[in-house]
């Protein structure tokens, strides 16, 4: 049993007053008035409530929290003289999760619609108290709070398949969820790399499917499968007894746990245990990483009745454990090539009148939804469940941007927004220099805070289907509890305000100030949190044909000091006050300085390569993806070369040719043009098949000056950066047109075989 007092440093996360009459509650309450004085919790304090089992449970939880940060035992009596009263008043608090917290010198009252609101009021009290055990006075400032959430679904996700995390770690994660008034824990229990939930009817799911060979010394995409004679030793699973204990722990804190049982893809761990569930029925081992052999199947056979019997059995046991209204069934990234060749799947399609494998996927999801609904529950699926037709009552979790969510809302289906940009917390939050290896992308604290889950494309009626938002923490690169904490803190606090606080009340500068006391509490509690918010963003600005550099930090009241010669900056280096012009190739390094000291972070660093296209304007025939905008339309001529950190400096084009025309601003004499591109097999990013270069003086009549055919095979799984280049005799040109032709589809053997792929491009360099 993981005892409450061992978790308290996580549970009591923030943390009070930084100055008189200042309360640093996150998420920001709807209404907060701070008055003079405080209520002192001491041995004379009692908890008062009417006879109600939910109020009794909330009171027990609160008294245990107070006991663990002090030596105060709050008595529970009928008529105390100094009280903390918990009570219901649905008329006064009509919102289901709302509460009113009133603190005077002699009494604290939490009034709520239900137990959930009582618990949120308790969390607001705890945020004004010390983060760790203390012998000091427990003073709650006198105040009046009226509070309720902006969105119904406020979620955090944790992937325990790619790396298994102990029940104790899961509980600490739940503590963080509760502290910041989230109400949902999305538990990703099943994936190719491990089956983590005990299913008594199918014991091999955990005796076989929960274990893989240890390849942790290798990069995620370089891990070969188990060899003959090797033993799978890395992994783990949760017994049903442990699951019940975790669920009770979450319920005590007002957190609903939604299990994810993946289907029909991402189930190689199940097929390793029971090969008869696949189309090929070939013995295989649990995947140790992100790349798998072409003859491995990671999906169930949609034509096999045994598969549906198996899944109904699994879901029956799952639903007997989890009382949640929703069951997440995955539905993403299905490799359909096995279905296309499988006689059973083809027969299913013929028998059911299905025209293609997309409709077969829809049949699969609809059939499983019908079963789940028959048990009184509802399904959630990733946005791929839209393919082939959406199940009647399904809720869509939109992760590939917002397009899937928009489409579902327009079809009157409920939606939870989880777009990779900015809500994938496995992406970098700073750096990447000085940061632990992450899964590409770049989602800073500010990007998270400034997100709003309701797209402008929706009408007011359609917008009602947006239940809320959720951050996802995928664990390919996250192996330990410390890494889990680092990736979610403090971004979790920013998302809490996104889904709780009215959008018109949000203010990033105010949030950053309140966050400072949370940083102190994290440190006191031993939490591993990112200080990347103190890092400096080095941003190119193209204005009037010139390249300027802007330096920003998300933290208030600090200096930015920088150098341009590649040397390490210090408190006496150049003080940044305004954007400065770049006229030659330089290496900018920058740090934040607080109270005369450099913050203990790796300096931000960015090289700028000067060439003749710098500062030009760029026009595209095909618009690039909103998910990968780099630094905007002129990113191809901002002097920055892309790196292996996918997503930060790359322009992304999905299924389209890159056709860009660059206006140099004046006629220039040039002799070479090049375009940088990235191949990243696992992320569906491939080299263009060819790149051609054209020049023009008038922008109307173009002539080709070179073309390079790609020589990198699409089957190459190592990440590669390549410059496509044309060299030619000196010629005058004002306009340059670059055309990069996209690979028609993902290559044979790739998980996305036959589907559109990406071109990633960075800089067009002209000499």
For residue 48, the domain's CATH number is 3.30.379.10
Q: Answer yes or no: do 340 and 405 share one domain.
A: yes
Q: Measuring CA to CA, which residue among 738, 478, 433 is closest to residue 603? A: 433
What is the tens place of the pLDDT at every residue in 474-515? Answer: 999 999 999 999 999 999 999 999 999 999 999 999 999 999
pLDDT band, residue 618 (cuts 50/70/90): very high
Task: For residue 598, give both structure tokens.
Answer: 């450099």
Q: Judge whether residue 203 has pLDDT over 50.
A: yes
Instruction: Give the pLDDT of residue 648.
Output: 67
pLDDT band, residue 133 (cuts 50/70/90): confident
Last residue of a domain, one of 608, 638, 659: 608
Q: Answer yes or no: do 257 and 318 share one domain.
A: yes
Q: Give the least confident one: 168-172, 242-246, 251-255, 645-649.
A: 645-649
Q: Judge whether residue 586 has pLDDT over 50.
A: yes
For residue 398, give the 3-state DSSP assignment.
strand
Tell me the pLDDT of the chain averaged across its residues. 92
What is the tens place of the pLDDT at every residue in 670-695? Answer: 999 999 999 998 888 999 999 999 99
* Domain ranges, residue 56: 4-147
Q: Measuring CA to CA, which residue among 259, 290, 274, 267 is closest to residue 189? A: 259
Q: Answer yes or no: do 599 and 649 share one domain.
A: no
Instruction: Give the pLDDT of residue 291.
Output: 78
Q: Answer yes or no: do 114 and 158 share one domain.
A: no
Among this protein's residues, is 191 annotated catalytic? yes
What is the tens place of the pLDDT at every residue in 173-188? Answer: 999 999 999 999 999 9
Q: Judge whether residue 157 has pLDDT over 60.
A: yes
Q: Which of 157, 163, 188, 266 is catalytic?
A: 266
Instruction: Give the pLDDT of residue 484.
Output: 98
Q: How far apart are the first and last CA of the chain?
A: 67
Instruction: Give the pLDDT of residue 721.
Output: 95
Check which CATH number belongs to the domain holding 579 and give it: 2.60.40
Instruction: Give the pLDDT of residue 351.
Output: 98
In percent, how much of the chain has pLDDT > 90? 78
Distances (CA, A) of 560 to 422, 430, 519, 602, 631: 25, 16, 20, 14, 21
Q: Judge whether residue 192 has pLDDT over 50.
A: yes
Among this protein's residues, is 750 annotated catalytic? no
pLDDT: which is higher, 301 or 533: 301
Distances (CA, A) of 387 to 127, 390, 459, 753: 44, 7, 23, 16
Check which CATH number belongs to the domain holding 443 and give it: 3.20.20.80
Q: Answer yes or no: do 646 and 598 share one domain.
A: no
What is the tens place of the pLDDT at every residue in 47-75? Answer: 999 989 999 999 999 999 999 889 888 87
Instruction: Give the pLDDT of residue 81.
Output: 72
Q: What DSSP line would sit under 698-763, residue for residue?
A: SSSS-EEEEEEE--S-TT--S-EEEEEEEEEEEEEEEEEEEEEEPPSSBPTTSTTBTS--EEEEEE
Q: Answer yes or no: do 421 and 436 share one domain.
A: yes
Q: Answer yes or no: do 112 and 84 share one domain.
A: yes
Residues 6+ apart with CB under 8 A from 369: 329, 379, 391, 392, 393, 394
Q: Judge whether residue 17 has pLDDT over 70.
A: no
Instruction: Give the pLDDT of residue 626.
Output: 66
Query: SS3 sequence, 637-685?
Result: HCCCCCCCCCCCCCEEEECCCEEEEEEEEEEEEEEEEEEEEEEEHHHCE
SS3 content of the chain, % helix, strand, coil (to 5): 25, 30, 45
Q: Answer yes or no: do 203 and 116 share one domain.
A: no
What is the tens place of the pLDDT at every residue in 352-387? Answer: 999 999 999 999 999 999 999 999 999 999 999 999
The pTM of this model reads: 0.90
Preceding amide of 640 cis, omega within 30: no
Last residue of a domain, one of 608, 625, 645: 608
Check which CATH number belongs to the domain holding 726 and give it: 2.60.120.260
Last residue of a domain, one of 499, 525, 551: 525
Q: Answer yes or no: do 342 and 434 share one domain.
A: yes
In percent, how much of the chain has pLDDT > 70? 96
pLDDT band, residue 646 (cuts 50/70/90): low
Q: Answer yes or no: do 167 and 302 share one domain.
A: yes
User: For 28-44, what is the mean pLDDT?
Assistant: 95
Q: Which of 85, 198, 260, 333 is catalytic?
A: 333
Among this protein's residues, is 333 annotated catalytic? yes
What is the tens place of the pLDDT at every residue in 256-284? Answer: 999 999 999 999 999 999 999 999 999 99
What is the tens place of the pLDDT at every residue in 284-315? Answer: 999 999 878 878 999 999 999 999 999 999 99
Q: Answer yes or no: do 327 and 470 share one domain.
A: yes
**What DSSP designation does 212 have?**
E
Q: Answer yes or no: do 601 and 632 share one domain.
A: no
Q: Which of 68, 97, 147, 191 is catalytic?
A: 191
Total domains in the chain come to 4
């Amino acid at each position: 049993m993981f005892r409450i007092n061992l978790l308290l440093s996580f549970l009591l996360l923030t943390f009070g007053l930084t100055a008189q009459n200042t309360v640093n509650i996150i998420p920001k309450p709807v209404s907060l008035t701070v008055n003079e004085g405080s209520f002192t919790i001491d041995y004379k304090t009692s908890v008062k409530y009417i006879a109600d089992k939910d109020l009794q449970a909330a009171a027990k939880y609160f008294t245990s929290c107070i006991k663990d940060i002090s030596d105060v035992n709050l008595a529970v009596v009928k008529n105390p003289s100094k009280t903390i009263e918990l009570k219901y008043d649905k008329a006064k608090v009509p919102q289901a999760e709302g509460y009113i917290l009133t603190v005077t010198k002699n009494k604290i009252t939490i009034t709520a619609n239900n137990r959930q609101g009582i618990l949120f009021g308790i969390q607001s009290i705890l945020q004004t108290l010390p983060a760790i055990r203390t012998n000091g006075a427990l003073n709650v400032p006198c105040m009046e709070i009226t509070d309720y959430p902006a969105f119904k679904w406020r979620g955090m996700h944790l992937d325990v398949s790619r790396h298994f995390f102990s029940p104790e770690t899961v509980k600490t994660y739940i503590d963080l969820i509760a502290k910041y008034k989230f109400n949902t824990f999305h538990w990703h229990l099943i994936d190719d790399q491990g089956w983590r939930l005990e299913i008594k009817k199918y014991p091999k799911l955990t005796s076989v499917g929960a274990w893989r060979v240890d390849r942790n010394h290798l990069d995620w995409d370089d891990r070969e499968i188990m060899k003959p004679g090797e033993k799978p030793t890395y992994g783990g699973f949760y017994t049903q007894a442990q699951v019940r204990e975790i669920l009770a722990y979450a319920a005590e804190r007002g957190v609903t746990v939604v299990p994810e049982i993946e289907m029909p893809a991402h189930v190689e761990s199940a097929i390793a245990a029971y090969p008869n569930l696949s189309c090929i029925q070939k013995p295989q081992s649990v995947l140790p990483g992100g790349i798998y052999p072409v003859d491995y199947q990671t999906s169930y056979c949609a034509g096999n009745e045994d598969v549906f019997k198996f899944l109904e059995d699994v879901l029956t046991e799952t639903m007997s454990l989890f009382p949640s209204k929703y069951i997440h069934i995955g539905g993403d990234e299905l490799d359909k090539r096995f279905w296309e060749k499988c006689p059973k799947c083809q027969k299913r399609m013929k028998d059911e009148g299905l025209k293609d494998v997309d409709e077969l996927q829809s049949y699969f999801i609809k059939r499983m939804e019908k079963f789940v609904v028959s048990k009184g529950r509802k399904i959630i699926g990733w946005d791929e469940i839209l393919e082939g037709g959406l199940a009647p009552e399904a809720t869509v979790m939109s992760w590939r941007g917002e397009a899937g969510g928009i489409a579902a809302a327009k079809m009157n289906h409920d939606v939870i927004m989880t777009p990779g940009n900015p809500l994938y917390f496995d992406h970098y939050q700073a750096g990447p220099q000085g940061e632990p290896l992450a899964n590409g992308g770049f989602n800073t604290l500010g990007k998270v805070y400034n997100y709003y889950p309701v797209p402008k494309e929706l009408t007011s009626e359609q917008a009602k289907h947006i239940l809320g938002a959720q951050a996802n923490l995928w664990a390919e690169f996250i192996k330990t509890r410390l890494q889990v904490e680092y990736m979610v803190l403090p971004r979790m606090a920013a998302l809490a305000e996104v889904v709780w606080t009215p959008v018109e009340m949000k203010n990033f500068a105010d949030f950053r100030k309140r966050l400072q006391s949370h940083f102190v509490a994290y440190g006191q509690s031993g939490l591993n949190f990112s200080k990347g918010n103190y890092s400096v963003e080095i941003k190119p600005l193209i204005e009037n044909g010139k390249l300027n550099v802007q330096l920003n930090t998300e933290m208030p009241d600090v200096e930015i000091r920088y150098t341009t010669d590649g040397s390490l900056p210090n408190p006496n280096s150049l003080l940044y006050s305004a954007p400065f012009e770049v006229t030659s190739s330089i290496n900018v390094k920058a740090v934040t300085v607080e109270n005369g000291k450099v913050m203990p972070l790796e300096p931000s660093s960015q090289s700028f390569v000067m060439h003749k296209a710098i500062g030009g304007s760029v026009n595209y025939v095909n618009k690039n993806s909103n998910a990968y905008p780099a630094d905007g339309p002129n990113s191809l001529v901002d002097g920055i070369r892309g790196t292996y950190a996918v997503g930060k400096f790359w322009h992304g084009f999905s299924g389209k040719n890159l056709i860009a025309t660059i206006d140099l601003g004046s006629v220039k004499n040039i002799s070479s043009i090049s375009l940088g591109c990235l191949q990243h097999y696992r992320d569906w990013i491939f080299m263009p098949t060819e790149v051609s270069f054209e020049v023009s003086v008038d922008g109307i009549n173009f002539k080709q000056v070179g073309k390079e055919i790609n020589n990198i095979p699409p089957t190459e799984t190592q990440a590669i950066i390549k410059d496509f280049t044309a060299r030619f005799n000196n010629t005058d040109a004002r306009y340059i047109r670059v055309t990069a032709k996209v690979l028609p589809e993902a290559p044979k053997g790739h998980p996305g075989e036959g589907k559109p792929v990406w071109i990633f491009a960075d800089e067009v360099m002209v000499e």
